[in-house]
């Protein structure tokens, strides 16, 4: 095991004598006892050596026969080789989707579509352990998150939208909701199965067919989902899955027979996609980056807030578009809160994603680890104060310590750029107006959090925050019935709830 000393050894020494040893010493010292390993069984997943594309209800090899390897970021070992779609394969997939739209899926009644969606949801629940393990192996996220968050939420999205499929006539009063046609969907690597569900469930409920490109580092749960489609007897071509490089994503976006484009990922690629659909009548939703402010007032329940802060930034290694990566603390409680936070950080367990005790797993890729490392180095160079708890990291794999920066200025890169890693920047404020000004001082506008005892303050703050989602006295809460999406450079369009359904229909007068 690698071991790094705390960045503040003198603070450790100071606190060690006084702290209780039942739960840890706090102030950055590793807890004095170890959890026995509780590894989830990997063999519940039957990995194939080689995966094809899923087009027209069949597994097919890529034109040209090229493949790429998906690796386990916690071990750096290969998991499987995957067919690498080309523009010709994208064309085949769009044709298959169009055929299904014209001849099968697009002809079904809402009631029939609902039955398929309920069936998919049920199969996801039945195979939930398999999906959770595979997702953790391919993405690096802790098993307790894939098991308790990603997979159940994915299943509940299909369940929720199944409920809408036969009720479209009532969803938009006075209007007739028609499907758009073929939807091109591009998803990222941070919540592979969940993002698939956010996109495929409403699209199918509304009667569209889809071609989905997963991220190159996490294609496996989408390919397992292809098996679910077959198991559910979904008409061939209704869902097509085409892993491949980013450029192939662009040939999907610009394909002439696509009616709708839905993208989740970086703002940079979002801009390219915007340009790719400009001048066409394709519908578009973009869910892009974020730099959320998590604001703690002096009347907040501090211990509860600490849990919310930890969940806000260290959940899924901080690889979350709506992560609470900027902590704004009211000046009068800053010292107390930061002390408590450091104590809490010392209890976070970083390591094997498949260990049920793990809180922070592996960073998704070497490239992402390098990006986090570079941004953290910039924070130190620009004068912010770095704090990392002492903790052992596995020898192999892409791991990064939970990191806290104090003395952060708004001009620092760590306060302005999306890091997409377990890195929290702490800033302070004196008045609610200053908190609002600092929170909104970002090109992004995806999410925010407010911690206070006063309901009136929550309502006042919410009305002033430029963020698509504002959580009050909680953070990172998701529900299929609730819309999610951003302002400004965080994109536009909403996913989830009726708003998410709206993004997949064309409304006509009765």
Instruction: Compute CA 429 distance to the chain's CA centroid, rounded to the nearest angstrom.
Output: 29
Size of the site for ligand NDP (CB under 6 A): 27
DSSP assignment of 281-346 equals --EEEEE-----EEEE-TTS-HHHHHHHHHHHHHGGGG--TT---EEEEEGGGHHHHHHHHHHHHT
Q: Is 252 helix (H, G, I), strand (E, B) or coil?
A: helix
Cβ–Cβ < 8 Å for 457, 451:
no
- Sign for the pseudo-dihedral over CA of 461, 317, 500, 250: positive
| Shortest separation between residue 385's beta carbon and ligand NDP, angstroms | 24
- For 62, the token pair is 């890529």
Stretch of 4-12, 34-42, 249-257, 306-314 lying at the interface with ligand NDP (CB under 6 A): 249-257
Of 26 and 402, which CB lies nearer to ligand NDP in the complex structure? Answer: 402
Pick out residues in 286-325 that bind ligand NDP (CB under 6 A).
288-289, 321
Neighbours of 74 (CB within 10 A): 26
Is the Cβ of residue 187 or residue 458 nearer to ligand NDP in the bound state?
Answer: 187
**Residue 140 gets which letter from DSSP?**
-
C-alpha 28/C-alpha 23 separation (Å) is 13
Q: Candidates 209-217, 223-231, 431-439, 460-468: pick the segment binding ligand NDP (CB under 6 A).
A: 209-217
Is 371 a binding residue for ligand NDP by CB under 6 A? The answer is: yes
If we measure between CA atoms, which residue out of 418, 414, 416 comes closest to residue 403? 414
Taking the complex as a whole, how short is the minimal distance between the CB of residue 478 and ligand NDP, in angstroms? 13
321 catalytic? Reply is yes
Q: Applying CB under 6 A, which part among 69-77, 133-141, 150-158, 239-247 lies near ligand NDP?
A: 239-247
Q: How far apart are CA 362 and CA 87, in angstroms?
A: 32
Does the CA dihedral 118-119-120-122 come out positive or negative?
positive
Nearer to ligand NDP, 100 or 322 (CB): 322
Of 194, 73, 81, 41, the C-alpha closest to 137 is 73
Catalytic residue among 40, 287, 319, 489: 287
The minimum distance between CB 19 and ligand NDP, in angstroms, equals: 36
CB atoms within 10 A of CB 67: 15
265 binds ligand NDP (CB under 6 A): yes
- Assess 442 for contact with ligand NDP (CB under 6 A): no
287 strand-pairing partners: 264, 491
CA 398 to chain centre: 18
Helix (H, G, I), strand (E, B) or coil at 196: helix
Piece of the chain touching ligand NDP by CB under 6 A; list 59-67, 196-204, 234-242, 245-253:
245-253
Point out the catalytic residue in the list 40, 229, 319, 321: 321
Cβ at position 443, least distance to ligand NDP in Å: 13
CB of 44 to ligand NDP, least distance (A): 26
Distance of CA 98 to the CA centre of its chain: 29
Is 188 near ligand NDP (CB under 6 A)?
yes
In the list 61, 128, 266, 407, the residue contacting ligand NDP (rule: CB under 6 A) is 266
Establish how many alpha carbons lie within 13 A of residue 333's alpha carbon, considering only the half-sphere containing its beta carbon. 21
Q: Does 199 bind ligand NDP (CB under 6 A)?
A: no
Least gap, CB of 190 to ligand NDP (angstroms): 5
21 by Cβ neighbours in 10 Å (0-12 / 13-18 / 19+) ranks as exposed
Angle between helices 432-440 and 455-464 (to 10 degrees): 40
Residue closer to ligand NDP by CB (options 66, 303) is 66
Q: Does 486 bind ligand NDP (CB under 6 A)?
A: no
Residue among 272, 340, 396, 506 that touches ligand NDP (CB under 6 A): 272
CA 55 and chain centroid, separation = 26
Stretch near ligand NDP under the rule CB under 6 A, chosen from 16-24, 152-160, 212-220, 390-398: 212-220
Between CA 228 and CA 124 the distance in angstroms is 8
Looking at 142-150, 240-248, 296-304, 376-384, which segment touches ligand NDP (CB under 6 A)? 240-248
90: its two tokens? 């994208």
**Is residue 213 near ligand NDP by the rule CB under 6 A?**
yes
Q: x/- string (CB under 6 A) for ligand NDP, residues 216-235?
A: x-------------------
Instruction: Give the bridge partners for 88, in sequence order.
Output: none
Pick the stretch among 20-28, 106-114, 260-268, 450-458 that binds ligand NDP (CB under 6 A): 260-268
The answer to whether 287 is a known catalytic residue is yes
The reply to whether 362 sits near ligand NDP by the rule CB under 6 A is: no
CA 438 to CA 411: how far, in whole Å? 11
- Hey, which residues between 403 and 432 contact ligand NDP (CB under 6 A)? 418, 420
**Binds ligand NDP by CB under 6 A, chosen from 110, 245, 301, 394:** 245
Contact between 471 and 449 under an 8 Å Cβ cutoff? The reply is: yes
Distance CA 340, CA 237 (A): 53
246 makes contact with ligand NDP (CB under 6 A): yes
> Which residues are marked as active site?
287, 321
Interface with ligand NDP (CB under 6 A): 186-190, 213, 215-216, 245-247, 249-250, 253, 264-266, 269, 272-273, 288-289, 321, 368, 371, 418, 420
């Amino acid at each position: 095991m690698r071991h790094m000393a705390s960045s503040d050894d003198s603070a450790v020494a100071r606190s060690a004598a006084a702290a209780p040893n039942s739960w840890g010493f706090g102030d950055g010292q590793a807890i004095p006892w170890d959890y026995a390993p509780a590894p989830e069984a990997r063999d519940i997943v039957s990995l194939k050596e080689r995966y094809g594309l899923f087009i027209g209800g069949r597994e097919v090899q890529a034109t040209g026969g090229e493949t790429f390897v998906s690796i386990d970021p916690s071990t750096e070992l290969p998991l499987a080789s995957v067919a690498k779609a080309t523009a010709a394969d994208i064309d085949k997939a769009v044709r298959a989707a169009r055929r299904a739209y014209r001849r099968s899926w697009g002809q079904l009644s809402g009631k029939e579509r609902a039955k398929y969606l309920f069936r998919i949801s049920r199969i996801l629940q039945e195979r939930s352990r398999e999906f959770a393990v595979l997702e953790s192996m391919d993405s690096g996220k802790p098993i307790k998150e894939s098991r308790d968050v990603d997979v159940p939420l994915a299943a509940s999205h299909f369940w929720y939208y199944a409920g809408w499929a036969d009720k479209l006539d009532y969803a938009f009063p006075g209007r007739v909701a028609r499907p758009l046609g073929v939807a091109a969907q591009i998803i990222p690597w941070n919540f592979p199965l969940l993002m698939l569900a956010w996109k495929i469930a409403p699209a199918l409920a509304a009667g569209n067919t889809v071609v989905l490109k997963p991220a190159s580092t996490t294609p496996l749960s989408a390919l397992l989902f292809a098996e679910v489609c077959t198991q559910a007897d979904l008409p061939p071509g209704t869902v097509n899955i085409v892993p491949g490089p980013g450029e192939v994503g662009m040939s999907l976006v610009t394909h002439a027979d696509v009616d709708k484009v839905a993208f989740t990922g970086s703002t940079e690629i979002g801009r390219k996609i915007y340009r790719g659909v400009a001048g066409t009548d394709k519908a578009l939703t973009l869910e892009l980056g974020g730099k959320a402010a998590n604001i703690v007032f002096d009347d907040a329940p501090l211990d509860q807030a600490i849990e919310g802060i930890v969940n806000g930034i260290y959940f899924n290694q901080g690889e979350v578009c709506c992560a609470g990566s900027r902590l704004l603390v009211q000046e009068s409680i800053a010292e107390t809160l930061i002390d408590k936070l450091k104590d809490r950080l010392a209890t976070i367990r970083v390591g094997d994603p498949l260990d049920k005790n793990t809180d922070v797993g592996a960073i998704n890729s070497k490239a992402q680890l390098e990006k986090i490392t570079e941004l953290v180095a910039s924070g130190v160079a620009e004068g912010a104060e770095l704090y990392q708890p002492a903790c052992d990291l596995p020898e192999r794999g892409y791991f990064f310590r939970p990191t806290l920066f104090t003395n952060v200025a708004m001009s620092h890169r760590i306060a302005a750029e999306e890091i997409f890693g377990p890195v929290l920047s702490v800033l302070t404020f004196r008045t609610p107006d200053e908190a609002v000004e600092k929170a909104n001082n970002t090109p992004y506008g995806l999410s925010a959090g407010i911690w206070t005892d006063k309901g009136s303050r929550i309502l006042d703050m919410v009305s002033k925050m430029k963020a698509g989602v504002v959580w009050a006295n909680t953070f990172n809460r998701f529900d299929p019935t609730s819309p999610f999406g951003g302002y400004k450079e965080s994109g536009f369009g909403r996913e989830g709830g009726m708003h998410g359904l709206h993004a997949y229909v064309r409304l006509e007068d009765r």
